[in-house]
Amino acid sequence: MAQQSQLSYGTDGAWNELYINGEWVTASSGETIDVEDPSTRATVAQVPAAAEEDVDAAYEAAAAAQSDWEATPPARREELVQELLETIEDRSEEVAELVTTEVGGSAVMAGTSLHLAEDQLSEAATVPRRMKGEHARSNIPGKENIVQREAKGVVTVISPWNFPLNLSMRAVAPAIAAGNTVVLKPATNTPIVGGLLFARLFEEVGFPDGVLNVVTGRGSEIGDRVASHPKSDVVAFTGSTPVGRRVAAAAGENLAEAAMELGGNNAHIVTDDADIDAAIDAAVFGSFVHQGQVCISINRHLVHEDVYDEYVERLTERAESLPAGSVHDPDTIVGPIIDESQRDEMLEYVDETVDAGATLETGGETVELEDVDNSLVVAPTVLSDVTNEMSAACFEHFGPIAPVIPFSDIDEAVELANDTEYGLSGSVHAGDVGAGKRIADRLETGMVHVNDQPVNDEAHVSFGGTGASGVGGYNTTDFLEEVTEKKWISLQHEPREFPF
């Protein structure tokens, strides 16, 4: 067993090497990247800054290992995925602490991340037994048609910083279970939870060398090489729409399959006959869980004018009651934003929205923390008198910000909800489920949740968006289609007659 597998899973675990072909290796550049705890602003670890030659080595290892891995019996691949699930369950406390420290996730967020990752592993364990083909009769006498499902080859996974554990797992686990090998490039902000942690887990379980390879580094330095590598057959990316467009274009140069889950501008519609108590409960969770740093969180609250004032007042009261601060305090609900650039952008959206005529009901500023310079915690923010064109509503603010927009009838609500390039998720609270379903049918988005909020994910249910929210899909059989391909083999059992 390699030296690093014996070390801690915490931030003190010496995460200073890349994982390539089953070995922990030093980055060729010799350079490192600091990992910061967003709550304390302290550097808690250093990870290697890979260079392009490290990326090439990772793909060489993945390509070399792929055929043997695909030939591994399905029962064995299933067994290893199940062992991976058991290992992450055994390490759950250490992993949760790592999520809290590196990602800035509250206890709720860390627990949710673990639950979703475990759900993804449970679903992925079924993939080897679902790699089934088809048999079709032929129009040609004596011919037999067989369609086999095979692994695509090498899958590139570029994971995000907001939910790096489960959003990496939802691509890595099914890709590998299907017989592919993987090169994983985690976000620069969360290189441990989104990448090196996976290497350690895979090593502890005993996956064959080269099945998973992890390269950490700055996107500006190795991102293009990862996205456009000629040995990559599939590129699975989760992140912003502007970056996703660039990644998809780079992947397309090699005709690699692109699975892109990108940004969102999700609407939470509340009608005049909705259960306001339930709508507010859902709104608070959907806007403020993990500081709103969720692609499927509520970006806009669309509320009927007859209940608008009550809704704004009650949402404001709830927002002001949420504990905001360091996530090392177990009572904290709203923790820090991942970094200064994200924080400053969302606060600028708030300022621009107020300048455009909106009313700041609460928040709109940082929360000072003891012994922390330049706090990243943004107070839960509610904005009223907002229109769809204002910055906090038309952009994906990705923060603990709740712009509330009035509407007069259902037609206007649907028009407002659809007035965006995005189409990821959404939610509806109406008088009854049937009314909510009729509204949901009219929304141009990949997912809608009636009498709920938009932050939902279940590994056995399709997950994906439309428009600028991405292409392809995750979960259930959707991602299996992305990482496998069909091969038609015909067998001519009798001599065939040809016209010449």
As annotated, the active-site residues are: 261, 295
- Provide the pLDDT for residue 3: 42
Residue ranges and CATH numbers for the domains of the chain are 10-262+469-487 (3.40.605.10), 266-450 (3.40.309.10)
- Provide the pLDDT for residue 5: 43
Which of 287, 291, 290 shows the shortest CA–CA distance to 300? 287
- Provide the pLDDT for residue 379: 98
Read off the pTM.
0.95
pLDDT in single tens digits along all 500 residues of the chain: 344 445 578 888 789 999 999 999 999 999 999 999 999 999 999 999 999 999 999 999 999 999 999 999 999 999 999 999 999 999 999 999 999 999 999 999 999 999 999 999 999 999 999 999 999 999 999 999 999 999 999 999 999 999 999 999 999 999 999 999 999 999 999 999 999 999 999 999 999 999 999 999 999 999 999 999 999 999 999 999 999 999 999 999 999 999 999 999 999 999 999 999 999 999 999 999 999 999 999 999 999 999 999 999 999 999 999 999 999 999 999 999 999 999 999 999 999 999 999 999 999 999 999 999 999 999 999 999 999 999 999 999 999 999 999 999 999 999 999 999 999 999 999 989 999 999 999 999 999 999 999 999 999 999 999 999 999 999 999 999 999 999 999 999 999 999 99
What's the CA gap between 460 and 122, in Å, rounded? 9
Q: How many CB atoms lie within 10 A of CB 8?
A: 13
| Alpha helices (runs of H) in 289-409, residue ranges in sequence order | 308-321, 340-355, 391-394
Q: How many CB atoms lie within 10 A of CB 368?
A: 11
- Provide the pLDDT for residue 229: 97
For the chain, the residue count is 500
What's the CA gap between 270 and 155, in Å, rounded? 41
What's the CA gap between 136 and 143, in Å, rounded? 10
What's the CA gap between 208 and 69, in Å, rounded? 8
Q: How far is CA 113 from CA 167, 168, 265, 405, in A?
A: 9, 11, 22, 31
Give the 3-state secondary structure of residue 378.
Answer: strand
Which of 215, 220, 266, 216 shows the shortest CA–CA distance to 243? 220
What's the CA gap between 480 and 10, in Å, rounded? 32
Residue in this structure with the two tokens 């890709």, named with its chain if needed: 175
- Provide the pLDDT for residue 7: 57
Supply φ then ψ for residue 205, to 5 degrees: -70, -35
